[in-house]
Amino acid sequence: MNWEIVMGLEVHLQLATQSKIFSGSATQFGAEPNCQADPVDLGMPGMLPVLNEEAVRHAVTFGLGIGAKIGERSVFDRKNYFYPDLPKGYQVSQFFAPIVCEGVFDVAMPDGSLLPIRITRAHLEEDAGKSVHDIFPRETGIDLNRAGTPLLEIVTEPDFRTAEQAVAYLKALHSLVTYLGISDGNMAEGSMRCDINISLRERGTDALGTRTEIKNVNSFRFVERAIHVECERQADILDSGGRIIQETRLYDAEQNVTRSMRSKEVANDYRYFPEPDLLPIEIDADYIEAVRATLPELPGAKRNRFVSDYGLSEYDATLLVPNHAMASFFEAVVDHCHAAKPAANWILGDLSGALNRADIAIEHSPLSAQQLAGLISRIEDGTLSSKLAKQVFDAMWEGLGDADEIIESRGLKQVSDAGALETMVAEVIAANPDQVAQYVAADEAKRKKLSGFFVGQIMKASQGQANPQLLNQLLLEKLDAQS
């Protein structure tokens, strides 16, 4: 059977705050277990939540960032379930009246097209703690440092048809939230986790099939693989006449399979009701306008500007923009050297390569934007050939100074003096009469190939410092004059 995949995504985004959503505990990652959990986070009797204003501001910022409607009056609800890392026996979330209502997020696909994804809602909630199963042989350890960390859960309509679309959405979302500064987007530390609702239907039909939910996938690569294996599993069942059971599943990256989470099956009835310990949040138009005034230039607008103002290709702009730090680095380089295309090439090529090999983020690059601009300026003014420039780049990467210092100390200046080059050309022609004779006898096509010999000889003689364009021009003039 020819199956069509239908998917919706729920992303749990950890908001960048100093303290928790309802308590004054720190949210820093990596603390010793239970050192950042106070009586509110532990659900001690009589403790009352007080809402963090920064979490509200981040949620509104997100809503405005995707052009969504902001809930004028939003309400917290209790989502009731029992699990040891949820001390109160309920999670404070928003069910009936979320802070961010419907919107549309345009996702830039790798081919440059835009895929509009409908956002159903985004709501504030608290994270649960962490259960540790592999330290203690007979017990489960509970670390409540994460309990009460502010999350924004972003829910889409079932608008995805391929794994590629889902991954493109997640990457675009990651880019957006880091631009907005509402999350650090650190996936390895769990700042962005994804639940995938997935079902199959016969291509050409409209009704939705029974779905499964794959919980807590935390990397782009795993999202793609989890979707592929789950689709295969569902297609196998349906093709052999079976039925899909609606259930929660976990992706096991080591075995590359999804597994049923049996324990969550019975509990899928959360009996939501309004949280009596918190009052409704009211957001007025003045507040919304004040937040709107703080919105930075967003990735889509920046991509368009890079193309129109700097003359970059869509392709280069699409590679530079998603990483906010890289886009800023690019603009800083262009500010100094006014050569956008070379700046993009160096950043996406040699610099990215060196950073990846050393596993360094561009914001911590040992080579500053100003230094890279200095190098590009020396290529643009003809001082350096591209070959010499790579040597200078390597030396700058090693921390040996700015481009000009390295050019000076190593004597790397490209020879662009026509007189000096002419002398070299004349010497090489005089020293190789046989090759000159061959060249003269050859036809147009062969001549091109034969001239390479002379270029090689002159480059050797100049220790690679001859300006290649000028050399070629002078050489051909001289050789053609021999015939």
End-to-end CA separation in angstroms for the chain: 72
Which of residues 7, 9, 12, 36 is near another protein by CB under 8 A?
A: 36
> Which is nearer to another protein, 60 or 458 (by Cβ)?
60
For the CB of residue 261, give the shortest distance to another protein in the complex, in Å.
5
Which of residues 109, 132, 253, 470 is near another protein by CB under 8 A?
A: 132
For the CB of residue 83, give the shortest distance to another protein in the complex, in Å.
8
Which distant-in-sequence residues (6+ apart) come within 8 Å of 78 by Cβ? 90, 91, 92, 93, 272, 273, 274, 275
Handedness of CA 197, 202, 203, 204 (dihedral sign): negative
Tokens coding 147? 């309990």
Tokens coding 181? 């500064």
> Which is nearer to another protein, 74 or 199 (by Cβ)?
74
> Which is nearer to another protein, 249 or 302 (by Cβ)?
249
Q: How many CB atoms lie within 10 A of CB 295?
A: 12
Considering the rule CB under 8 A, would residue 159 count as an interface residue with another protein?
no
Considering the rule CB under 8 A, would residue 51 count as an interface residue with another protein?
yes
For the CB of residue 19, give the shortest distance to another protein in the complex, in Å.
5
How far CA 139 is from CA of 84, 142, 304, 475, in Å, comes to 12, 10, 55, 80
Which of residues 134, 139, 286, 443 is near another protein by CB under 8 A?
A: 139
d(CA 76, CA 87): 18
How far CA 313 is from CA of 111, 305, 330, 346, in Å, comes to 12, 11, 14, 15
Q: Is 162 helix (H, G, I), strand (E, B) or coil?
A: coil
Considering the rule CB under 8 A, would residue 26 count as an interface residue with another protein?
yes
Which of residues 9, 37, 107, 320 is near another protein by CB under 8 A?
A: 37
Which of residues 109, 115, 261, 332 is near another protein by CB under 8 A?
A: 261
> Which is nearer to another protein, 241 or 276 (by Cβ)?
276
Q: Is 129 in contact with 145 (CB distance < 8 Å)?
A: yes
> Which is nearer to another protein, 113 or 263 (by Cβ)?
263
d(CA 306, CA 428): 46
Considering the rule CB under 8 A, would residue 266 count as an interface residue with another protein?
yes
Considering the rule CB under 8 A, would residue 80 count as an interface residue with another protein?
yes
How far CA 238 is from CA of 66, 243, 246, in Å, comes to 37, 6, 14
Q: At what angle do helices 285-292 and 53-65 cross, to 10 degrees?
A: 70
- Site map 279..308 versus another protein, x via CB under 8 A: xxxx--------------------------
Restricting to residues 323-362, which ones interact with another protein according to CB under 8 A? Answer: none
For the CB of residue 68, give the shortest distance to another protein in the complex, in Å.
21
Q: At what angle do helices 433-441 and 444-461 cross, to 10 degrees?
A: 160
Which residues are bridge partners to 6 per DSSP?
199
Considering the rule CB under 8 A, would residue 55 count as an interface residue with another protein?
yes
Taking CB under 8 A as the binding criterion, the range among 50-58, 314-322, 423-431, 436-444 that sits at the site for another protein is 50-58
Considering the rule CB under 8 A, would residue 271 count as an interface residue with another protein?
yes
Restricting to residues 377-416, which ones interact with another protein according to CB under 8 A? Answer: none
Considering the rule CB under 8 A, would residue 134 count as an interface residue with another protein?
no
Alpha helices (H) in 383-417, listed in sequence order: 386-397, 403-410
Positions that interact with another protein (CB under 8 A):
17-19, 23-26, 32-40, 42, 50-56, 75, 80, 82-84, 96-97, 131-133, 135-136, 138-144, 250, 261-264, 266-267, 269, 271, 274, 276, 278-282
